[in-house]
Amino acid sequence: MSHPAKFRNGVKISERHGAGEWTLEKLCLAALMPLGVWVASTAFTLTGASYETVVAWFAGKLNAGLAIATVLIFCLFGALAWKVIVEDYIHKPGTKGLLVGLLNLAFFVLAAAGVFFIVRLALGSAPLPAGIGA
């Protein structure tokens, strides 16, 4: 059972939980800033390029590694940000837990799919058959 909230000058005092998530969220954001610039420059560079050119670009270990890092950090940041939104605006404990669980699952699936397709491109695999993923 939780203890009553503490107040100082009419303002609720931090109970020290969530500080680690806040720090992790800020670190993810700091990492996403240069990665975002890299993604934007890459998108500009590869616009209009042929499939073979894109596959050759992803075949570089640095490019594939940075793309995977971007996907993973973005999904972690998104999951943390949406968790904060759900915790702030959903007040029923059961609904809150269900939504946080579904959001975590959705971001996990998104991250896994992103890594799968980046590795697929990096290894030079053929595109998916027509009708799959379209």
pLDDT tens profile 77-106? 999 999 999 988 988 889 999 999 999 999
* pLDDT band with cut points at 50, 70 and 90 for residue 1: very low
Q: Inform me whether the pLDDT recorded for 17 exceeds 70.
A: no
Confidence (pLDDT) at 5: 67
Asked whether residue 1 is domain-assigned, the answer is no
User: What average pLDDT does this structure show over 42-61?
Assistant: 91
Confidence (pLDDT) at 10: 72
Q: What is the pTM of this model?
A: 0.79
Please give the share of the chain, as a percent, with pLDDT higher than 90: 58
Asked whether residue 100 is domain-assigned, the answer is yes
| CA distance from start to end of the chain | 50
Number of structural domains, the chain? 1
Q: Which residues, 6 or more positions from 69, have their beta carbon under 8 angstroms from its beta carbon?
A: 31, 35
Type of residue at 55: V
Range(s) of the domain holding residue 98: 19-122
Asked whether residue 116 is domain-assigned, the answer is yes
